[in-house]
Amino acid sequence: MVLYIIDHPYHYEAENLCRVFYPFDKVTVQHEFMPSDENRTVYTAEENGEYIVRIEDADGKTERKAKVGAETEYGMVSLLFDAFCAHTGKMPRWGMLTGIHPIKLLRQLTEQHGEAEAARLFREKYFVSNEKTALAVRTLRAQKPITDKVRENDYSLYISVPFCPTRCAYCSFVSQSVEKAKKQIPEYHRLLLEELKETAKVADALGLNLRAVYVGGGTPTTFSAEQLSEMIRVVKDSFDMSQCEELTVEAGRPDTIDRAKLDALLKSGVSRISINPQTLQDNVLENIGRRHTAQQTVDAFHLAREAGFTNINMDLIVGLPGDTYETFCDTIEKVIALDPENVTVHALALKRSSFITQSGEINKAHADAALADRMMAYAEKRLTERGLEPYYLYRQSRMAGNLENTGWAKPGTECAYNIFTMDETETVLACGAGGVTKLKNPYSEDLSRIFNFKYSYEYISRYPEILERKEGIAKQYEQFRKRLH
């Protein structure tokens, strides 16, 4: 597909809308008009006081025009959305929202206009469906008591452990062969502990209050029991934990969990873990390259309960290869029978560099938006019936059915870190490969980011640069505080 963007600033939105409606097209952007041989062209331009949109492909030609008037903020974008709907006959459930933080937008609208008007704007200005608007409103209500408690200097700590026992077929995060990466673990662990100590010094000097710690990845339980204990000991010794209310560790893959690691985590004070089935169907697990069985997940869950964990999350994915509506519902029922405190339901996002995308093995549920939608609706219905509420939600591009990822929790068991990072309510200091430090201006919605290197081998070889980048934290806070006075 060629997307022409001529003389208007809505590049990001136009490109994203192309992906919403044509998730499997490669989009080439051109800023000047030149005839193209591509079988689909989308022309968007501002010409002589008008927005012009023209979509042409084998299905025909759809054209829309509108005057550049008072309501211009979304003028071009809504025109394009309207043209795509007419051309494809599709009406995406999240309307023309293409950003990853719809709840943040709803919160801002609610703060300005109140809940009812914000919901109306969601439906009528952004074309979000009634069901998704209702889901967003519920999510915002559930997270409000937690975001309301955030104070000026609060922050969370994210620790990345970017190793996994095998690479899932839908993953774009792990770059090297798993075997090669594993050899790096001892050196990575050593540098990570050093980075944690340095980060604690920065946070201390700025007078920041640590509220939540989240260890993610990758699969943090690729570390041994000793490495996990040592990492958490360093966190506790280096950071002021007096106001820290939660410590989550993703124990993602059941094939990395054993009693020694669970005991080590619990003894270290970990309050919440994730054990992620993704699916409880063995054939689907095989399709996605996870070399464990559904039974291993169930056993790992029971082992964690026996060890004493009282807050366990389980991640599931809609749109996996080989999953059907019936097998997905079966997975939901089996998860519900285990009675975890949290369930996170993801819609499969196809990343360009994942095996699944490269092999062209697009699952029926991914291509079939209606099927993905039914699966998601079933999860929503059953989790609601079990007393769980949606409490954080985010979206990615190229998601099955153009849907969303939603974290569900029994009231009182929500993971505050998930809310903070998705709502961008407070600063997140990140350590480890792939970590992104997000510095939130406590006096506005401004956010600035500092990136660590994505892959473990870069992190190790360029570690001194990671420490140099930490200097940016104090400088940015100085700016935040200066602007206030």
Residues that bind ligand SF4 (CB under 6 A): 164, 167-168, 171, 173-174, 217-219, 252-253
Residue whose CB is less far from ligand SF4, 211 or 292: 292
Residue whose CB is less far from ligand SF4, 96 or 265: 265
In the complex, the smallest distance separating the C-beta of residue 71 from ligand SF4, rounded to whole angstroms, is 42
Chain-centroid distance of CA 477 in Å reads 26
Residue whose CB is nearest to ligand SF4 in the complex, by number: 171
In the complex, the smallest distance separating the C-beta of residue 167 from ligand SF4, rounded to whole angstroms, is 5
DSSP 353-364: TSHHHHTT---H
- DSSP classification of residue 154: E
Spatial separation of the C-alpha atoms in residues 307 and 45, rounded to whole Å: 61
Spatial separation of the C-alpha atoms in residues 236 and 426, rounded to whole Å: 21
62, 55 Cβ separation under 8 angstroms: yes
In the complex, the smallest distance separating the C-beta of residue 344 from ligand SF4, rounded to whole angstroms, is 13
Spatial separation of the C-alpha atoms in residues 320 and 332, rounded to whole Å: 14
Q: Are strands 50-57 and 41-47 parallel, antiparallel or unpaired?
A: antiparallel
The residue type of 30 is Q
> Which two tokens mark 113?
């206009």
> Which two tokens mark 459?
């992190």
Residue whose CB is less far from ligand SF4, 174 or 314: 174
401, 344 Cβ separation under 8 angstroms: no
DSSP 387-436: T-EEEEEE--TTBGGG--EEEEE-TT---HHHHHHHHT-SEEEEESTT-E
> Which two tokens mark 23?
């998730």
Report the DSSP beta bridge partners of residue 212.
156, 246
What phi and psi, each to the nearest 5 degrees, are found at residue 101? -120, 70
Calculate ∠ Cα 430-99-313, nearest 5°: 55
Residue whose CB is less far from ligand SF4, 53 or 171: 171
Residue whose CB is less far from ligand SF4, 218 or 435: 218
In the complex, the smallest distance separating the C-beta of residue 177 from ligand SF4, rounded to whole angstroms, is 12
Residue whose CB is less far from ligand SF4, 269 or 322: 322
Residue whose CB is less far from ligand SF4, 139 or 363: 363
Chain-centroid distance of CA 304 in Å reads 25
Encode burial over 52-83: b for 16+ CB neighbours within 10 A, e otherwise.
bbbbbbeeeebebebeeeeeeeebbbbbbbbb
In the complex, the smallest distance separating the C-beta of residue 253 from ligand SF4, rounded to whole angstroms, is 6
Residue whose CB is less far from ligand SF4, 79 or 433: 433
CA dihedral 82, 86, 91, 97 (to 10 degrees): -20
Residue whose CB is less far from ligand SF4, 135 or 285: 285
Residue whose CB is less far from ligand SF4, 179 or 385: 179
| Residue 19: count of CB within 10 angstroms of its CB | 17
